[in-house]
Chains A and B, each alone.
Chain A
Amino acid sequence: DQQVKQNSPSLSVQEGRISILNCDYTNSMFDYFLWYKKYPAEGPTFLISISSIKDKNEDGRFTVFLNKSAKHLSLHIVPSQPGDSAVYFCAARRAGTASKLTFGTGTRLQVTL
C-alpha cells in the first residue's frame, strides 16, 4: 500500500521556468512533510519541509504548498536551473521525534537549457 504517491515519474522543464512537483498521501495521521533531492548513487538531501499547521513554506527558490483537505502537497521551484536536475522525493511522517519517514516514488526532474 503506497501511502505517499508521486504520480509523475518524470518532468522536463526549461531553464528559468517554474517546476511543479506533486505528491499525494492517503494517511491522515501524517502531519509533517518533507522534500528531498537525490542524485544517483547518493543519499537524499533535505530541501524543504512543512508542518500540517501551515499551508505554505518558502525557502529561496523553493516553495512547498500543502492542501490538507485534498491530502496533496506540491513543490515549486522558481526559476528552475540545470543544477536542479535530479530525482525529487516527497516524504511524510507522523508527529514525534525522529519518527520514520514514508517516501513517495520519486519524480525525475530534467531542466533543459
Chain B
Amino acid sequence: GAVVSQHPSWVICKSGTSVKIECRSLDFQATTMFWYRQFPKQSLMLMATSNEGSKATYEQGVEKDKFLINHASLTLSTLTVTSAHPEDSSFYICSAATYEQYFGPGTRLTVT
C-alpha cells in the first residue's frame, strides 16, 4: 500500500517551453501533497505544499508563477514548470501524505 507514482519519469524540453509533471497516490487519498527538488549531491528542498482544492503554499525563494501547482483531487497533483530554463534542470520529487509522507520515484527534468 501507499504507492505514489510520478509521470513522466524523465523529460527533456527546450528552453522557453512548459513542462507538466503529475503526481498520483494510487491506493490512498492524500490530504496534502508536497513537491521537492533535488540538485546533484544535495538535499531535498521543499518547494511547495498543496492541499486539495486550495492554493499551494510556496517556500521562500520559490517563484509561484514559474512553478504552478494544481491539486485537483485527493489523488492527483501537478507541477508545471513554465518557461523552463536550463537552471530549472533538476530532479523533482513529490510526496503524498495522510499522516506520513510517501514519496514518488521522481522526475528528471533536463532543459536544453
Which A positions have Cβ atoms within 8 angstroms of B? Answer: 9, 36, 41-46, 89, 97-98, 100-106
Contact = CB atoms under 8 A, between A and B. Distances in A.
Interface stretch (B11-19, B62-70, B95-103): B95-103
Given A43-B103, A44-B103, A103-B46, 13 more contacts: A43-B6, A43-B93, A89-B43, A97-B31, A98-B31, A98-B97, A98-B99, A101-B101, A103-B44, A104-B43, A105-B43, A106-B41, A106-B42
B34 A97 contact: no
Main secondary structure, interface of B, reads strand
B104 A106 contact: no
Q: Contact residue range for chain B?
A: 20 to 34
Contact of A41 (B91, B98, B104): B91
Contact of A42 (B44, B45, B105): B105
